[in-house]
Amino acid sequence: MDKLLEQIKKGVVWPFPGGVHPPQQKSLSNSASITRLPLPDKLVVALKQHIGANGKLIVEKGQHVLKGQALTIPKANWSVPMHAPTSGTIADIKLMPSAHPSALPELSVIIEPDGKDLWCELNPIKNPATLSHDELINIIHQAGISGMGGAGFPTYVKADTKQPIEFLIINAVECEPYITADDMLMREHAKQIVQGIELMQQLLNPTLCIVGIEDNKPEAIAAMIQAAEHNSLILVQKVPTIYPSGGEKQLIKLLTNREVPNNGIPADVGILVHNTGTLFAIQQAVYEGKPLIERVVTVTGNTIHKPGNVWALLGSEIKHLLDCQGFSPVPQQQVIMGGPMMGFTLPTIRIGVVKTTNCILAPDHKELAEPGPEKACIRCSACADACPASLLPQQLQWFAKSKEYDKLQEHNLFDCIECGACAYVCPSEIPLVQYYRVAKVEIKEQQAEKIKADRAKERFDARKERLDREQAERQNRHKRKPAVKTPDEKQKVADALARVKSKSANSDEKSAVAAAIARAKAKKQQGDALEPDNSEVAKERALRKEQARQYKEQKAQSDEPASPDDKKSAVAAAIARAKAKKAAQLANAESTTDDAPQNEAPVDDKKAAVAAAIARAKAKKAAQLADAESTTDDALQNEAPVDDKKAAVAAAIARAKAKKAAKALADAESTTDDALQNEAPVDDKKAAVAAAIARAKAKKAAKALADAESTTDDAPQNEAPVDDKKAAVAAAIARAKAKKAAKALADTDNTTDDTPQNDAPVDDKKAAVAAAIARAKAKKAAKALADAESTTDDAQVTSAVENNDAASSTKADEPKANDDKKKAAVAAAIARAKAKKSQKEGNDQS
């Protein structure tokens, strides 16, 4: 750093690449002092004259304003206000052509001066050293000062930089031909410019301030050296006359040998650059309190009779400047704003002066001939040699013509300073700078559209996310939320779970299987080192032995078990009992059937006597069979239980056959009754025939019932004893229904038997009535008996099946189960005996 400072102070400069030497033509305008023009008829003040956003308009049409009064106020970043250049009335606020090659309309305030040129109230600062940093920045900002030598960058933004600044460079080179505005300003106002430099030193505190001036301006150099004698930190440095040495990056290279990085700014390398006109405006804003409302403009060219520099109010029409300097246009006259290298031709001279306007050039055809038609590139590389930014102008032009904007950016199009050196040396007269300017505008438009599209996408995504979230909230709003448990309820649940776990962990009642599994796992884990604990199994085995012993003692005390011959006798007794039942039921059916015809018609006394004798004989036979059944039941009490499953199957088959036989008997009785009811009560032969048919059908039904009952009676012999409680309940139900059936049967038999005892013929009507009553009671008795038998059989089968399941699931408790089965069998046998006894008593009574 010290070495660099020593080199700079010695006046060393470092050349930059490229550059050209066009004719200077500065002597036309630098021989006379700066003049002040009369007030124009109107001022067209554009609201945007700098880089950044427009200010907010605070005046309206028809309003009277004073000189220096603010027309706008800042409303966004990089926004500076505009002020009224003179006092007058606002004639209009509308769009007017802008000071741009495209002349696109910009919102402008049109002021008609009142000729008084009255200032608004000003606030000058006599001792700026007492101002704070923010106060000084605010003054510069509110004065509306922006860069007056280049793109018009807001000065307050540069002055308020947070990066450390080592070198403050004042650009007083003014390298472009014809322009002498800065030269004359330094000659006449060097002291004010130095005061502006000192204000910037107060803000930035740089190590050194360097004023760069081309060596073709000796008067300006002398004036600046003299004005800065008292300040050792201000160095006036001469630079060679070469175009474009006034470019920001090129001047930095010349004075400090530092290069600004691509897409960077001078502050990135510790350097800040200001124009002399900008520093003069800063001094006026602080020391005089004046905002930026005028600037020095060079009006020159061969068509100007009085070329020179003038103080032009911002908003003054170009026509007013030309007319004041003696403009004599020629055919196809062109007027250029700026110099011949970087300026642009104005579409109209009704455009107002802006803050960046430094020159108005009105040349004739000899001085600045119109360019010829564009020719093909001859690849001479003159443009590349002249480019001060070391670009490839020819390549950029091809990409610009084909609109390959990505490749233009890859080749650093935006490093081009649009100096026009490439177009100046091109032998094919290709307007290279125009291609670059158009391409830059289109690229910026694309970037702006992309930014808009990205923001629109962000808004769309945010909106979609919001809608999805709201929809989810709506759906969840209708869902039933689980009830929130209170702390007490949660504690109760936790305590209950703890009790269950504790009970499960501390339970001593474990099954033998679980204990055996646990012992097996323990043995597998511990190996043969420990002996298994078989105490539980031993206890169970001893209990089973004790139960078997008790069962044997009880069996010994009871009747001795039947021998094989006794078993055969029991089977024969069961068969006999079934046949007895069949015969009893058949006798009852026949007696009812035979007795009914006797009462239907008055028949022969002998026939009636014969029928009565037959009925009595059948009753005696039924009584004998009943005795046989009682004997058989006593034998069945001592029978051994047989296989449960086979007994259940046999019982089911027997019930099915019994139901079928009962249905056949009922059909026969119904047919018989219908036949008897329809017969004539007088014809004896017909009555005898009907009685025979009825008896035949009754015998057939009785035979079917006998077969079913034989099967039903045999099945219970094979049934296994069932549980005590279930067997007792089933037996009680069977006894109740049997008693009811026996009682109904007894009533029927009494009614039926009493009818045939009357040997004498009776009246036909009475006999028919008596027969109908007998038949009704017989049907009721038969139905009650069938219900009783069905209930008894179902209970036995159910008990047998349940006992079968219990027997198959548990084998260890077999002695105890056998004992229970024996008791159940005894109870069932007693119930059957009582039922049969009741039936027998009913038969005896009949």
Instruction: Output the known binding site for [4Fe-4S] cluster.
Output: 377, 380, 383, 387, 416, 419, 422, 426
Strand partners, 81: none
Q: CA-CA distance, 752 to 774, in Å (whole number)?
A: 6
Q: Is 548 exposed, middle or buried (0-12, 13-18, 19+ CB in 10 A)?
A: middle
Provide the b/e sequence for 764-788 (b: ≥16 CB within 10 Å): eeebbebbbebbebbbebbebbbeb
Q: Which amino acid is at 767?
A: A
Binding-site residue set: 377, 380, 383, 387, 416, 419, 422, 426
Direct distance between the N- and C-terminal alpha carbons of the chain, in angstroms, rounded to an integer: 149
For 449, phi and psi rounded to 5 degrees? -65, -40
How far is the C-alpha of 139 from the C-alpha of 285, rounded, in Å? 7
**3-class secondary structure, 173:** coil
Phi, psi of 422 (to 5 degrees): -65, -45
Give strand ranges (E) for 394-528: none
Strands 72-73 and 88-97: unpaired
Give one DSSP letter per residue of 396-421, joined into a string. HHHHHHTT-HHHHHHTTGGG-----H
Tokens found for residue 766: 């009475």
Please, which residues have CB within 8 angstroms of residue 558's CB and are 6 or more apart in sequence?
none
Give which of 387, 392, 385 is closest to 408, Cα–Cα.
Answer: 392
CA distance 368 to 339: 11
The Cα–Cα gap between 343 and 487 comes to 84
- Cα separation, 2 vs 633, in Å, equals 139
How far is the C-alpha of 792 from the C-alpha of 457, rounded, in Å? 87
Joined tokens for residue 709: 């009952």
SS3 (DSSP) at 108:
strand
Structure tokens at 482: 């689980």
| Alpha helix ranges (H) inside 601-723 | 605-636, 644-678, 684-718
H or E element at residue 793: helix 764-809
Max Cα-Cα span within the chain: 183
Output the six-digit token pair for 496.
């209950």
589, 738, 742, 788 from 733: Cα distances, Å: 26, 8, 14, 8
For residues 142 and 71, is the Cβ–Cβ distance under 8 A? Answer: no
